[in-house]
Structure 1
């Protein structure tokens, strides 16, 4: 597998790679032809730039031509780079993933030279790093022929309706024979070698030779009970009392405040709310005591509407 192509919404692999190459080739050819036609049009407009405006295209047409020319040029540049990169991969018979493997192997070789030809692996094991050649580079012509479905007919490589390579060709791949057949690709990487299983030592962990698992079960039960207590605590949270109940309690506990006398001008507590202009809810015709104690959330627009209605009735 080479990569996933969002343009075709499909993965580029051994069987779809020839179609992907043809798709890029004909896309570049079509966009390049459009680029030449746009260039002719732009050159003609630029050559007649000194003529009166009524003899040329409108501003909307010029803007549309400019956007189309810039977009087409950027797309042509990007697809040309992608086509060249794909042709290079086809000539070297390396996919995108295999090129990453080659770079990783070269990096491991540079690191191993500083540590005497080996790198430390998991568990303190020393892993020797030996240079390996990429086994599937069998020559430029053979690489291209294998990548384009195994056919030596050059015209069929560019035929848009060419058939998909036979499924049997994806089971085995020809090798160049530079390495021993027993050597696998990709080369070993110490960072990817799985860790060996560690032996559990109950004596060191728990200070006892009990291997029945009772300690682990008991610890699990304690954690489970703690989780249940936390969950019950969240469920059993008491709701905060309404303001009037809290206000009455605080008034009863206070000995120096007369609960029978109501201070209309008091600005203390939640009832003393004011906006930026110093207005309170009662200035909008709201009975602060009744409606606030009932905990009704009245929108400000409704309050303003009620005040306007009362002012209209008072007239």
Structure 2
């Protein structure tokens, strides 16, 4: 059975699961629309781009990682896994239409080094993925689990943003947590959901006096911190985490629920699925 799935798009191999997956995304878009949020949807990779990926394969279902924004700077990152390195192409038209004509800067991380052999892994970097980047005012936290962003990518970001008044702080992660947004979710000023098991050195100093909703390692591994605040008053998560949502609601936040079971099975949830192009 497995052999018959190799080399096929998910939609062709698992059509019913694909329909449920797309329905999850459509429900989230409908929620955004109810709250007056404009939604721009990336296109799919085309056949030429898929062929260019070669034996590495390709993916384009989480828009959070290929690029991100910090203030007035839009940054194309660099993804560690070879099969993800073309993902940004699915957003290029949006970036061209909205960013090049906008009052902002638009830069890209240097290409990662080529590995010397298959045993060398992904190469020398630099790597910087949007799921590792959390922005709080003039402070930018960047996770480093050894699986995604690396020290070289963090140094590059520090050099870019330092002259603009930002402090870039590296946050070590446990090696079983891919990104920082799998460990910490900033809900609003002074309130966060946190998985302590994912943070071997604890929270960054500036966040330690916040009100913290701590969750178990199991909930963290299932993406319990990867909800999405769409305003200081509204937070979106999965009904799987209603026990976490109830604790968030206790602080006066309206919690909206969207079933994201299929999406989460691919290792990402609400923050992974969305990307902020403009903050107000």
TM-score w.r.t. the length of structure 2 is 0.20
TM-score w.r.t. the length of structure 1 is 0.18
Higher helix share: 1
Structure with max Cα Rg? 1
